[in-house]
Amino acid sequence: MEQIWLLAKITYKEGVRNRILLGVLLVALLFSAFNVIFSQMFAHDLSKVSVDLGLSTVSIAGLAVIFFMGINLLARDFEKRTIYMVLSRPIARWQYVVGKYVGLSLMVGTAVAILGLFTAAGVKTSMLMAPNFIPQNYSWLVFAAAVCFSLLSLMIITALAQLFTCLATSSYIALLVTACAYFIGQNVELVRKTLLDSAEVNRYYAIMIEGITWLFPNLQAFDMKTAAGYGLPMNTVSLCWTAVYGLSYIAITVSLSVFFFQRRELT
């Protein structure tokens, strides 16, 4: 346990001190400022637009952190062989995988927390400027839940990114495959729904789509931007199951990473 935490800590430090993170945060900050201006351009529902834009900023910045830094940090261990420095210690390979994952998640979590606060500030400003358009049931609790689930979805992508870096030989391929997984995850629900609704579908095609929905995470389930924007009521039990779904997906993905990493030759 201690070894995992140690590794998480240095991964986190290495990530947080990277300039890219600063850049991402800066861009996100600009977005938050832009948010206040942009949302005023809408005649109606402008606090909804503001929440939408803010939460999208959180997601996009989180994705940027994973794609520009997370994968880089993971792949560099193999490419620059910094992994020797870790694995020559009394640290088991599974501890390395878990520790690295925890460290990266912490890093993404920090970025999301900072951005979430900025976004909340931006939304608050928009609301103060146009108090008439605050949705009746607007609740900051739902907003916070939306941020948390956004983080969960980012953590799923991180786990997938780690799995792909353990499997692939180059960071470029890992990046590409992770991006594909992200797009599939975003659209899998829509595609499945459309297919199931239409009567005549090739049976094998339907089976394939069903298989894909089991392999890839349904990232739409974690997207609560609309609920946050309108302050729609959320069911606690549903939220819990969604969280369980996400967490078990992460656990399985990390287990798979361990499985493959244990067999990997570190030449």
Partner 1 sequence: MKAAKFFGSLLPLAMLLTLYTVARFRVDEIRADYSYRLHAAALPVSTEMMKAIAGEFKGLAADYLLLEAASFIGSKEKGTPGDWDAVARLLDQSSSLDPYFRSTYLLAQANLPWRAQKYSETLTILERSKKHLTWDWLPGFFMGFDYYFFLKDNFRASKELMEASKRSDPVSSISLSSWAARLASKAGQVSAAIDFLSSIYEKTDDEGTRDLLMQRIMTLRGAETLQSAVDSFVAQFGRMPDGLDELVVTGIIPVIPSNPYGRPFTLKDGTVEY
Partner 2 sequence: MTIKIEKLKKTYRKNLRFSKPAVDDLTLLIESGEAFGFLGPNGAGKSTVIKILLNFIQPSAGAATINGFLVSNPAVRRNVGYLPENPYFYDHLTAEELLTFGGKAAGMGKAQIAKRIDELLERLKLSHAKKQRLRTYSKGMVQRTGLALALIHKPQICILDEPMSGLDPMGRRLVADLIVEMRKNGQTVFFSSHILSDIERLCDRVGILNRGRLLYCGGLKDLLPATGGGLEQAFIGLIEKDEREQHGADLAAG
* Three-class HEC string of 191-237: HHHHHHHCCCCCHHHHHHHHHHHHHCCCHHHHCCHHHHHHCCCCCHH
Cα–Cα dist 53/198, whole Å: 33
Q: What is the DSSP string of 235-258?
A: -HHHHHHHHHHHHHHHHHHHHHHH
Cβ closest to partner 2, residue 64 vs residue 86: 86
Q: Confirm or reject binding of residue 13 to partner 2 (CB under 8 A).
A: yes
Q: Confirm or reject binding of residue 193 to partner 2 (CB under 8 A).
A: no
Q: How far is the CB of 98 from partner 2 (least distance, A)?
A: 13
Cβ closest to partner 1, residue 29 vs residue 221: 221
Name, in order, each residue with C-beta under 8 angstroms of 58's C-beta and a sequence gap of 6 or more.
Answer: 28, 112, 115, 116, 119, 147, 150
Written as one letter, the residue type at 231 is: G
Cα–Cα dist 115/60, whole Å: 10
Which partner in partner 2, partner 1, none is near 82 (CB below 5 to 8 A by kind)?
partner 2
Which partner in partner 1, partner 2, none is near 190 (CB below 5 to 8 A by kind)?
partner 1
Which partner in partner 2, partner 1, none is near 6 (CB below 5 to 8 A by kind)?
partner 2
**Of residues 89, 128, 207, 248, which one binds partner 2 by CB under 8 A?**
89
State the residues that interact with partner 1 by CB under 8 A: 42, 45, 189-191, 193-194, 197-198, 214, 218, 220-221, 226-227, 230, 232, 235, 238, 241-242, 244-245, 248-249, 251-252, 255
Q: How far is the CB of 264 from partner 1 (least distance, A)?
A: 17
Q: Confirm or reject binding of residue 173 to partner 2 (CB under 8 A).
A: no
**Of residues 87, 121, 130, 148, which one binds partner 2 by CB under 8 A?**
87
Cβ closest to partner 2, residue 17 vs residue 44: 17
**Of residues 81, 113, 141, 244, which one binds partner 2 by CB under 8 A?**
81
**Of residues 18, 186, 213, 220, which one binds partner 2 by CB under 8 A?**
18
Name, in order, each residue with C-beta under 8 angstroms of 15's C-beta and a sequence gap of 6 or more.
Answer: 21, 69, 70, 73, 103, 104, 107
Cβ closest to partner 1, residue 77 vs residue 223: 223
Torsions phi, psi for 92 (to 5 deg): -75, 160
Report 219-238 residues binding partner 2 (CB under 8 A).
Answer: none
Q: Following CA atoms 103, 105, 106, 107 in sequence, which dihedral angle do they give, to the nearest 10 degrees?
A: 90
Residues in contact with partner 2, total (CB under 8 A)? 25
CA atoms within 13 A on the CB side of 138: 17
